[in-house]
Amino acid sequence: MTIYPAIDIKGGRCVRLTQGRADQETVYAENPADIAAQFRAAGSAWVHVVDLDGAFAGEPTNLAAVAAIVALGMKVQLGGGLRTRAAVERALGQGVSRVVIGTRAAESEAFVAELVQAFGDRIAVGIDAKHGQVAVKGWVAAAGMTAMDLARRMEAVGVSTLIHTDIGTDGMLTGPNLAAQETLLQSGNYRVIASGGVSRREDVVALAQLARKHPRLDGVIVGKAIYEGRVELRDLLALTAGAA
């Protein structure tokens, strides 16, 4: 199980939002690449980056900051505002290893199918849900479908990796929604990267146990807990053998 330390970028800075709310922002660093360098020094090969401005605007706006992270030699998984093929191609052209399609995936299966045909496993789909219902456009709009419905539709068009964020726990440091993650894992043959709620080492231990039961649990995204010193990234990487 891979640990994906998270960097959320807003206005060029590294921030975290509580439950995705733009008015609940904490700034952790002026330069996101400085944080990525710390992650790399701890042994992480991957970093999960969200362009928050892009998520709200519908078009990536922080690709320069992303390119600086790629230049460190890290594998970047990028989401936020990737709603056109041109935007996806720009991100991949910057050296991003995997892009995450969110809003557009809920709107158009054909769009995702086209991307998967062109770029294969470099395309992942983000399923952001609260109480099992999918939210889109920076989590401010309801998609009118369940997480399981969207997962099955994405599997049908060839998507192999889903990033499942439980909005209710994201940034709250209350522990991950293990039941929601397991429900999704039981619904198809895709890989799942869990996101939301990790607050302590024991949460990652619980997810690692879930991964032994469901090997398609590919990884977990950890953000606020790292920034607030509740967990040590190097320890989590050793715990999960997720440094590569």
Task: Report residues of the chain scoring pLDDT below 50.
Answer: 242-244
pLDDT at 210: 96
pLDDT at 23: 75
pLDDT of residue 103: 86
Residue-level pLDDT at 42:
98
**Token couple for 38:** 């710390």
pLDDT on residue 166:
85
Helices then strands, each counted (H, E), the chain: 11, 12
The pLDDT assigned to 139 comes to: 59
* pLDDT at residue 110, rounded to an integer: 97
pLDDT at 48: 98
Whether 218 is catalytic is: no
Please check whether residue 190 is in contact with residue 184, taking contact to mean a CB–CB distance below 8 angstroms.
Answer: no
Angle, vertex CA 184, rays to CA 60 and CA 176, nearest 5? 75
Candidates 45, 114, 102, 33; CA nearest to 74 is: 45
pLDDT at residue number 22:
72
Residues 231, 236, 239, 243, Cα dihedral to 10°: -170
Asked about 128 being catalytic, the answer comes back as yes
* Rounded-to-10 torsion of CA 224, 60, 91, 226: -10
Question: Active site residue: 8, 51, 170, 203, which one?
Answer: 8
Give the residue from 145, 214, 144 showing the smallest Cα distance to 179: 214
Domains, in order of start, for the chain = 2-237 (3.20.20.70)
**Strand partners for 219:** 2, 193
The reported pLDDT for the residue numbered 96 is 98
> How is the chain split among helix, strand and coil, in percent rounded to 5?
40, 30, 30
pLDDT in tens, 94-114: 999 999 998 899 999 999 999
Which of 33, 29, 25 shows the shortest CA–CA distance to 65? 33
Q: Which of 23, 51, 53, 128 is catalytic?
A: 128
What is the Cα–Cα distance from 70 to 62, expressed in whole angstroms? 13
Residue type, 17: L
Distance between CA atoms of residues 242 and 244, nearest Å: 6
- Tokens read off for 15: 């921030």
* pTM score, whole prediction: 0.92
pLDDT at 29: 95
